[in-house]
Structure 1
Amino acid sequence: MKGKTLLVLRHGKSDWGTGHEDFHRPLVERGRLGSQKMGAWIKRQKLVPDAVLSSTAERARATTAAACKAMGVPLSKVRWDERLYAAPVEDLLAALADCPKSAHRVMVVGHNPGLEELIDYLNEGQIEVPDDGKVLPTSALAQLEMIEDWTKLEPGCATLVSVTRPGQVPDDLAVDDEPQGPVPDYFFTQSAVLPYRRIDGQLEIMVIASRKGTRWVIPKGVKEPELSLRDSAGKEALEEAGVRGRLDEEPIGHYDYKKWGGVCHVAVFPMEVSESVPEDEWEESHRERRWLEAGKARSMVDERALRKLIDKLAKRVGKR
């Protein structure tokens, strides 16, 4: 019998501040992007499933939609199963038993604690629990291999091959930043954050590794149509650098660079950083981030106009 693969994907990070009841709680943007990255990773690893089963809760639906888009799997192939919402192991096994017999690779999208209990039930041997106590945090994907038929899943019948978190997946797999076909005009309007802090009166600037780790940059991205330049910049600071703080109301300046056959225009907003989020909450924690003296940070970035903006910030902050 040909071996089978089970992909277990937990829904992305959801929004607890909406006031919606649990079933209707939506994803936050970080949850959508994390789910999209996992779908892109699945495609890159040539693990695209033959069948997808998903909980009908809003956050699971949105996770499935984002992952399937990145994998190139049409939503018409998804089996939306009410049994998967807050499901115990028994219901998860029952849903898997209803998979097409011809499916050799199946992905199930759902919720904890049921998904972690399913992995523990199927895995042969003891699972090593990470230091943060989470076997399957939000947007994480477990890969299990087995031989048994979907209707005959018994305790210990599978081997846990890997658990992959979105922070371990390189950003350049995300499809949003590398559009297929003609590039929309709005992609050329971007915003960035110049993160800074003062330690014993000394100004420090944060720089982060680029997506491919080949140079040093500041948090930057396409201005999303529904956000202002300033709000979009704050979003990039949290996702790319894992920092929050006070953003200036107006940009300190702009710089341009060439991409996609055109010129991107970037508005740069200073941010006095007040918080660095924990590693497991930082969407792009695979990147390196460094706090540097302003002159050192200036020397590490490529864009001449951005270097001038660092000088301008140093003069401004020095007068406070």
Structure 2
Amino acid sequence: MNTLYLIRHAKAEEHTFTKDDFDRDLQQKGIDRANKIANELKKSLHVDEKTLVISSSANRAIQTAEIFCSILGYPIDSIQQTKDIYEAHFTDILKVINTVSNQYDKLLVFGHNPGLSNLTNYLSHSEIDLATSNVSILQLEGDLTFEMLGGGTANLIGLLK
């Protein structure tokens, strides 16, 4: 069974007029929380050659992905970055997921709200709101691949917060 991990970026610095939203960095509080949750995830996730990580290319998302990957043992230089996840509607994030080859059975996606919460709810008919650094863990039904994933075809099996 394939498993999808949707991970909201860690707590970032506040919006200002002097820095573009895309370039906002993580706060220390966010770094600490990301480390804590990544260590929790490590207890149940075994990274191998069938694991793929995709991240929004916004600073705060890629910085979160790097924290998680260093703890989980996933090579940081193998993280696929895309701007298609930044400020994206959940259907646009799903389009990115639907391009993932069936050679992978574990997919971690690092991004932003409301897209990730809405995608979790769409895929699993749940009602959750991911806070910063939260992870929703979704198991695809039957022998579905990431290419086939759609509304109501996954079960929310865990929420790390």
Fold equivalence (TM over 0.5) = yes
Give the distance between the partners of 1:35 and 1:52, measured in 2 at CA: 16
2:19 counterpart letter in structure 1:
H
Change (3 A) 1:26 1:102: same
8 Å CA contact 2:126, 2:156 repeated in 1: no
Q: Which residue is equivalent to 1:4?
A: 2
CA contact 1:60–1:110 (8 Å) conserved in 2: yes
Which structure is larger by alpha-carbon Rg, 1 or 2?
A: 1
1:138 corresponding residue in structure 2: 132
AA aligned opposite 2:37: M
Percent identity, aligned pairs only, is 29
- The secondary structure found in structure 1 opposite 2:66 is helix
3-state SS of the aligned residue for 1:121?
helix
Residue aligned with 2:94, SS: helix
Structure 2 residue 72 is the aligned partner of structure 1 residue 71: yes
- Between the aligned partners of 2:46 and 2:112, the Cα distance in structure 1 is 21
Which residue of structure 1 aligns with residue 147 of structure 2? 151
Taking a change above 3 Å as real, the CA distance of residues 126 and 93 of structure 1, as seen in their structure-2 partners, is closer
1:12–1:31 CA contact under 8 A, matched in 2: yes
Aligned length: 156
The residue type paired with residue 146 of structure 1 is L
CA distance in structure 1 between the aligned counterparts of 2:93 and 2:25, rounded to whole angstroms: 22
Superposed counterparts of 1:7-86, under 5 Å: 7-16=5-14, 19-48=18-47, 50-86=51-87
Q: Contact 1:39/1:69 (CA < 8 Å) preserved in 2?
A: no
Q: Using a 3 Å threshold, how does the CA distance of structure 1 residues 47 and 112 change in structure 2: closer, same or farther? A: farther
1:181-220 Cα shifts (integer Å, max 9, x gaps): xxxxxxxxxxxxxxxxxxxxxxxxxxxxxxxxxxxxxxxx
Partner of 2:157: 161
Given the superposition, is the C-alpha separation of residues 100 and 38 from structure 1 closer, same or farther in structure 2, using an over 3 Å criterion? farther
Q: Secondary structure at the match of 1:20?
A: coil
Closer/same/farther in 2, CA of residues 73 and 9 from structure 1, 3 Å limit: same
3-state DSSP class of the match of 1:142? strand
More strand by share: 1
The alpha-carbon deviation at position 17 of structure 1 amounts to 5.8
Q: Once superposed, what is the RMSD of the aligned Cα atoms?
A: 1.5
Task: Name the aligned partner's letter for residue 35 of structure 1.
Answer: A
Shift of 1:47: 4.3
1:46-100 per-position Cα deviation (integer Å, ceiling 9, x unaligned): 3437000100001001101111111111112211011010111221111112223
- Give CA deviations for 1:236-272 in whole Å, capped at 9, x if unaligned: xxxxxxxxxxxxxxxxxxxxxxxxxxxxxxxxxxxxx
Give unmatched runs, 5+ long, in structure 1. Answer: 130-134, 166-320
Higher-RCO chain (CA-CA 8 Å, sequence separation at least 6): 2
Q: Distance in 2 between matches of 1:153 and 1:33?
A: 33
Q: Which moved more, 1:87-96 or 1:113-122?
A: 87-96
Residues 1:89 and 2:90 are matched in the alignment: yes
Tell me which residue corresponds to 1:98: 99
The amino acid across from 1:61 in the alignment is I
Distance in 2 separating the partners of 1:116 and 1:48 = 24
Instruction: Give the distance between the partners of 1:57 and 1:141, measured in 2 at CA.
Output: 18
Summarize the Cα distance change of 1:44–1:155 in structure 2 as closer, same or farther, 3 Å threshold. same
- Residue identity in the other structure for 1:24: D
Q: In 2, distance between residues paired with 1:75 and 1:98?
A: 21
TM-score under structure 2 length normalisation = 0.90
| Matched residue type, 2:7 | L
Paired position in structure 2 for 1:211:
none
For the residue of structure 1 that corresponds to 2:25, the secondary structure is coil
